[in-house]
């Protein structure tokens, strides 16, 4: 038997465990041109909260997944291959070659890296910093939600791309210490201590050149306040408003973008999948050497999927949240 996790109700504000059910179903059988994958690891991401508002009910939500082929009738997908696909929230999936990618089992590179720094979160950080904000050597970078999946990759990537100063915000003193001790940040701000604008200004007395935004709201306002002339904002996410009944008001200083001749650009990582090989070529040597770490929080068992999702939304993870099936 296989297990799937169904969403059965829409949230009003914060989601809750009773909006999901675990269902046993017969293990699927692949047809011609298909392969059966036993999932090993499932990605848990903030964007899934947005999916809850419009995805179909009574079915699993989509999500990045890493699994091993256990039965195949598909050329190019052999039994034993480890593949990346998007049929998450379940123990088994039937995939076609065009919807899955075989990933190499590299010495010194954990498989979980393909859901973290080498996965969608790492690609989001890479695209935002290099291709949207066009980070230049010596520049000062600010990253919000810096201890999350994207942020834990962004600090390390910014350092590799030559940033002169890397500043991150996070939600606890312990996470702040983790950012500076392990993830390449020069300064980490615990925003729960208050006065985010003042503390960011103190951390960047000469201003910031690049802001990678994962939060929106007050963090975006604080970043605009210290943004240097012709600075760039790459807007990746807005976890600060996903669970709000109404979005927060626009930053009061939004018009400062004009006076500073700055650029604010939103982006969707799915539009940049062609850069995946570039990311891997850039990062794999650093992962093998240990200079870059695949920072993850692992929840054990598919029966912990819902709790892992709720924990991630409340900031209970450090690095990328992943469920080990």
Transcribe 275-295 into DSSP letters: GHHHHHHHHHHHHHHTSS---
Query: For residues 148 and 319, is the Cβ–Cβ distance under 8 A?
Result: yes
Average pLDDT over residues 203-225: 96
- Predicted local confidence at residue 238, as pLDDT: 83
Mean pLDDT to the nearest integer, 132-150: 97
Query: 39-57: per-residue pLDDT in tens?
Result: 999 999 999 998 999 989 9
Q: Which of 104-113, 151-160, 174-183, 295-304 shows the lowest mean pLDDT across its residues?
A: 104-113
* Burial (0-12, 13-18, 19+ Cβ within 10 Å), 230: exposed
- Which one, of 50, 59, 108, lies nearest residue 239 by Cα? 50
Query: Closest by alpha carbon to 258, among 219, 235, 230?
Result: 230
Instruction: Please report which confidence band the pLDDT of residue 191 belongs to, taking 50, 70 and 90 as the band edges.
Output: very high
- The answer, yes or no, to whether residue 138 has pLDDT greater than 70, is yes
Q: Which residues contact 277 (CB under 8 A, 6 or more apart)?
A: none
Beta-carbon contacts of 104 under 8 Å, excluding residues fewer than 6 positions away, are none
| Whether residue 31 has pLDDT greater than 80 | yes
- What percent of the chain is predicted at pLDDT more than 70? 98
Q: Which secondary structure element, helix H or strand E, spans residue 221, and what is its range?
A: helix 217-226
pLDDT band with cut points at 50, 70 and 90 for residue 13? confident
pLDDT of 246 > 70? The answer is: no
Q: Over 80: is that where the pLDDT of 291 sits? A: yes
Average pLDDT over residues 265-274: 94
Q: Is 197 helix (H, G, I), strand (E, B) or coil?
A: helix
> How many C-beta neighbours within 10 Å does residue 106 have?
15
**Is there a contact between 267 and 132 (Cβ–Cβ < 8 Å)?**
yes
User: No. of H helices and E strands in the chain?
Assistant: 9, 15
The mean pLDDT value of the chain amounts to 94
**Distance between CA 199 and CA 142 in Å, rounded?**
12
Span 12-23, mean pLDDT?
95
CA distances from residue 158 to 134, 220, 272, 293 in whole angstroms, order as listed: 11, 19, 18, 14
Distance CA 43, CA 120 (A): 9
CA distance 284 to 233: 27
108 pLDDT tier (thresholds 50, 70, 90): confident
122 neighbors 283 (Cβ within 8 angstroms): yes
Q: Mapped to the 3 state alphabet, what secondary structure does 41-110 carry? A: EEEECCHHHHHCCCCCCCECCCCCEEEEEEEECCCCCCCCCEEEECCCCECEEEECHHHCEECCCCCCCC
> What are residue 169's DSSP bridge partners?
189
Return the CA Rg of the chain: 20
In whole angstroms, give the CA distance from residue 219 to residue 197.
Answer: 8
**Position 247 pLDDT exceeds 80:** no
pLDDT at 241: 72
Q: 3-class SS at 135?
A: coil
Residue 244 has pLDDT above 70, yes or no: no
Residue 4: strand pairing partners? 23, 90
> Poorest-confidence range of 51-55, 208-212, 220-224?
51-55
Delineate the domains of the chain, giving CATH numbers in brackets. 2-113+296-324 (3.90.180.10), 120-270 (3.40.50.720)
- 128 has pLDDT over 90: yes
Q: Are 185 and 168 in contact (CB under 8 A)?
A: yes
Q: How far apart are CA 308 and CA 303, in angstroms?
A: 10
Beta bridge partners of 25: 2
**Residue 3 and residue 23 in contact, taking contact as beta carbons nearer than 8 Å:** yes
């Amino acid at each position: 038997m296989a297990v799937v996790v169904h969403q059965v109700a829409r949230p009003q504000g914060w989601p809750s465990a009773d909006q999901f059910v675990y269902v046993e179903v017969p293990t699927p059988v692949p047809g011609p041109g298909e392969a059966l994958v036993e999932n090993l690891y499932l990605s848990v991401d903030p964007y899934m909260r947005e999916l809850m508002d419009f995805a179909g009910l009574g079915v699993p939500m989509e999500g990045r997944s890493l699994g091993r082929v256990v039965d195949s009738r598909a050329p190019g997908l052999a039994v034993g291959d480890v593949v990346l696909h998007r049929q998450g929230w379940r123990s088994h999936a039937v995939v076609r070659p065009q919807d899955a990618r075989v990933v190499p089992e590299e010495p010194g590179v954990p498989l979980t890296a393909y859901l973290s720094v080498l996965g969608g979160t790492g690609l989001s950080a890479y695209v935002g910093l290099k291709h949207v904000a066009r980070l230049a050597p010596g520049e000062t970078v600010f990253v919000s939600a810096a201890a999350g999946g994207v942020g834990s990759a962004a600090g390390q990537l910014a350092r590799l791309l030559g940033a002169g100063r890397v500043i991150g915000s996070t939600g606890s003193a312990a996470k702040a210490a983790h950012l500076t001790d392990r993830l390449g940040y020069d300064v980490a701000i615990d925003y729960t201590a208050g006065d985010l604008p003042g503390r960011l200004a103190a951390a960047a007395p000469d201003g910031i050149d690049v802001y990678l935004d994962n939060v929106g709201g007050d963090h975006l306002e604080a970043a605009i306040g210290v943004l240097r002339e012709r600075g760039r904002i790459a807007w990746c996410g807005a976890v600060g408003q996903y669970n709000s009944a109404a979005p927060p008001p626009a930053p009061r200083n939004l018009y400062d973008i004009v006076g500073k001749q700055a650029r604010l650009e939103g982006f969707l990582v799915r539009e940049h999948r062609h850069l995946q090989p570039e990311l891997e070529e850039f990062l794999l040597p650093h992962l093998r050497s240990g200079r870059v770490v695949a920072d993850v929080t692992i929840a054990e068992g598919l029966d912990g999927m819902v709790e892992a999702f709720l924990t991630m939304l409340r900031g209970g993870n450090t690095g990328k949240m992943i469920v080990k099936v």
